[in-house]
Homo-oligomer: A and B are copies of this chain.
Amino acid sequence: MGDEEQPLWRRAATHTLHTSLMLKVMLEDRLHEAEGLLLADHEALLNIGHAEEPLRMSVIAQRLVISRGGTTKVIDRLEAMGYVLRRPDADDRRATVVELTRAGREALKRARPIIDAGLEEIWSAYLTDEESVVLIEVMDRVLEANQACC
């Protein structure tokens, strides 16, 4: 269907986009059914859990690539579930920092195998290690290039 006329990079980009969106839907379904979490919620938990110090709202917004208002809602949700805790930042009284509760850490532990199983089922059977390496390199490069510019 005219696929042949397109430059390689264009097909690579559109195919990647399309497949990723499908992956997202499938993963989110599993996670939501099992733990009542959205992918954004999980991503937030992961980021907060990963960090050495409690994270600011604005940092979470950047990491999840969502708006500040959206971040407020994500953290509201997680706080209502008892998974995170908001505290005023001591250094900057405008800022709020967020940290995991014990329940949050446990939720994260429960979510891990669900995400893993989903990713494995959807991806790993269809990927060689060499291809994985290429994907990781490409995605990192593209991400970094575009984060720098905006």
A positions within 8 Å CB-CB of B: 1-2, 7-27, 50, 65, 116, 119-120, 122-127, 129, 131-143, 145-147, 150
Report whether A143 and B22 are in contact in the complex, using a CB–CB cutoff of 8 Å.
Answer: yes
Closest beta carbon of chain B to A27's beta carbon, Å: 8
3 closest cross-chain pairs (CB), A and B: A20-B20, A8-B132, A15-B139
Cα–Cα, bound, A141→B124 (Å) = 11
A-B contact pairs, 22 of them (CB 8 A): A1-B50, A7-B124, A8-B129, A9-B123, A11-B132, A12-B139, A14-B119, A15-B136, A15-B139, A17-B20, A17-B23, A20-B21, A21-B65, A22-B65, A22-B147, A23-B142, A26-B146, A122-B142, A122-B146, A131-B134, A131-B137, A134-B135
Q: Name the residue among A20, A27, A120 with the largest chain B CB count within 10 angstroms.
A: A20
